[in-house]
Amino acid sequence: MSEPNTPRWVKFSFPRPEHACYHLVVGLGVEPDSDWKVVEARIDGHRSRDFWVYSDGQAQKLRLLRRGTLAKVLVRCDWQNGSTHAVELDLKQEDGSRTQTLKLEATAPATGGWWNPGWRYYLGVVARENTGLTRTQEPIHLTLATYSDRIADPEREVRVVAIDPVSGLPQEVVSQVYHVSTWTTPKPDKYTQNTTTCEVAFLADVPALSEKVFLVFYGNPSAVRPQYQTDLSVQGQGLELNVENAYYRLHTQDTGGAIDEIDMKMGAEAVFEHRLETNGAVQWNPDCYSPKRPWTHSSDWNPPEHYSEVRGPVFLMTKRAGIMPEYPEIKLSVTYMMYANNPYIMFSSTMDVVEDLHVIALRNGEFVFNHAVFEEFAWKQPNGDVGSLVIKEGPRHPRHATRIEADTPWLAYYNREQGCGLGAMTLNLAEMRRVDGMPRKDYPYIYLAWGPWTYFSRVYTYAFGSNNPQRMVKVGKGATYHEQMALTPFQLGAQDDNRFDQIEEWYARLADPLDIRLELDTDDRVPEEWVPPILTADFEEMEDAED
């Protein structure tokens, strides 16, 4: 009896967005009288757990070869340039009456193969751009969690490689590994295995409205820790740091680690600073005022209870945490992120109210400057227009120069003569209360103020700024307030219709970052059948799996 299914060709493929792994494709004609199922695939005698079946271009989740179609079987195969591989496919007729094994041998092309044979494993990463903006050196953060016997030292071993979408040529990109941890059990089983987890950051170039594959390689105990060079420079130890990249220079205070100066490059050479009162910081909040205790801010830490940093070629992260000065009822966390090849400074903070508290002011998002540079202020309005005013033409402190929506996409100080500005983009606002209802927010908004200085601040509760400023508003135990902003120097456009194009583009990028999808290979220790979770009551999760 002749073989019912006929292999027609074998092709090798580098990782692509549809399948972010090295693989080969077997094309075959399926007999007209019956469906067949691909039961097992082997490469060079070793079973491959990862393969996909298509019939006439349609994915077959049950790995069926539909009768009378031109079918393709894609099998993960970590081929190298010019390598030769034996392929075997075990097939079974739909009714189980016949079986067939297809055996083929093929040689890989001379380019597009495995990046470096010194590394044994990799994680496939697919980055997708959705907004129509070409992404250049956009930071990506992801988690690599793998069985511990696959990796010895992530900080030495991990490499990130970009795959050219046309040629398949791999190109190593700058990456940074941090926060390494290992979970172990004395008896690995079908439920759990010893696992090493780390965070990986890298800078990605992805064309507009397209997808691109990156591979995170690991599994090379002999690897030497990479020494990447970028435009990100960090000098100093502890709270006081000098940070620089191609767009700005930045200094943090030695007392509490808050930003107290930003020097813009980008052709403007402008200095954004405060230095007029208290500690002179630029970034003040979160803050709280509950008389007769003093009004204090996160910038008043001297020092914070907890401080940590992550420093590398992709980014610097500083994290400060502890009790708000004078207010044991509030716990704070403030994080800065500064990146190579990017102009923005990420600022995020969290306030946790751990005991009931009555306040006149509870605010966040405050940045304070002197008048040496900034003369005008602008913001994105709800209807999409840009509002603006000359700062000193608005009412003077203690009145507000203007009020805008608490969740406005961006606001900015700017100076037409110097052609520069400093923008603040709102990326994430979240509030919750763990007990007793909703978090208290007494008319939230952002206001601009000026006196010897100028500042803006986002308020949660601000009786102090009202016409009844002696009201003591309760902020209940269990309330949490979180926000994330990005602060960026920018160049002004010459005309009214393009004056804020740079900050508009950066907001579009940061508000809708690249989407990330991860693809792992299937380890041989994974059980053949799906392992149901340990539940408090019986429940059949796979009842309709074959429908």
Q: What is the mean pLDDT of each run of 10 residues along the chain (547 residues)?
A: 80 97 96 94 96 96 94 97 97 91 96 96 98 97 97 97 96 98 96 97 98 98 96 97 98 96 91 86 95 96 97 98 98 98 97 96 93 92 95 95 96 94 96 89 90 94 93 94 96 91 96 97 93 82 57
CATH 2.70.98 fits 272-504, yes or no: yes
Upper half-sphere CA count for residue 459 (Cβ side, 13 Å): 23
Look at residue 547 in the predicted model and tell me its pLDDT: 45
- What whole-number distance in Å separates Cα of residue 484 and Cα of residue 472? 27
CATH number of 6-107: 2.60.40
Note if the pTM is more than 0.85. Answer: yes
- What whole-number distance in Å separates Cα of residue 132 and Cα of residue 4? 48
The answer for 39, left when phi > 0, alpha when psi is -120 to 50, beta otherwise, is alpha
Assigned token pair, 342: 């990017």
Type of residue numbered 341:
N
Q: Give the DSSP letter of residue 320.
A: E
Q: What is the CA radius of gyration of the chain?
A: 29
Look at residue 181 in the predicted model and tell me its pLDDT: 98
Give yes or no for a contact between 74 and 23, defined as CB atoms under 8 angstroms apart.
yes
- What whole-number distance in Å separates Cα of residue 108 and Cα of residue 344? 44
Look at residue 543 in the predicted model and tell me its pLDDT: 62
Beta partners for residue 454, in sequence order: 369, 450
| Helices and strands of the chain, counted as H and E runs | 2, 40
Assigned token pair, 42: 């082997």
Upper half-sphere CA count for residue 4 (Cβ side, 13 Å): 23
Assigned token pair, 512: 């809708």
The residues spanned by each domain of the chain are: 6-107, 121-228, 272-504
CA quadruple 466, 470, 474, 475: dihedral, nearest 10: 50
**CA–CA distances in Å: residue 255 to residues 279, 296, 302:** 9, 14, 5
13-19 own/partner pairs: CB under 8 Å, 24+ apart: 13/74, 13/168, 14/112, 14/113, 14/163, 14/168, 15/124, 15/163, 15/168, 15/213, 15/215, 16/165, 16/213, 17/126, 17/128, 17/211, 17/212, 17/213, 19/52, 19/74, 19/76, 19/519
Q: Which of 352, 414, 418 lies closest to 389 in space, CA to CA?
A: 414
Give yes or no for a contact between 369 and 270, defined as CB atoms under 8 angstroms apart.
no
Q: Give the DSSP letter of residue 19.
A: B
For residue range 364-402, list pLDDT tens digits in order: 988 999 888 899 999 999 999 999 999 999 999 999 999
- What whole-number distance in Å separates Cα of residue 301 and Cα of residue 156? 36
- Euclidean distance between the first and the last CA atom of the chain, given in angstroms as a whole number: 34
CB atoms within 10 A of CB 491: 19
Q: In what order do the strands lie in the sheet with 211-218?
A: 170-173, 159-163, 211-218, 121-128, 515-519
Upper half-sphere CA count for residue 535 (Cβ side, 13 Å): 8
DSSP string, 340-407: TT---EEEEEEEEE-S-EEESEEEEEEEEEETTT--EEEEE-TTS-EEEEEGGGSPPTTS-SEEE-TT
Dihedral sign for Cα atoms in the order 441, 442, 444, 447: negative
Look at residue 1 in the predicted model and tell me its pLDDT: 47
398 cis-preceded (ω within 30 degrees of 0)? yes
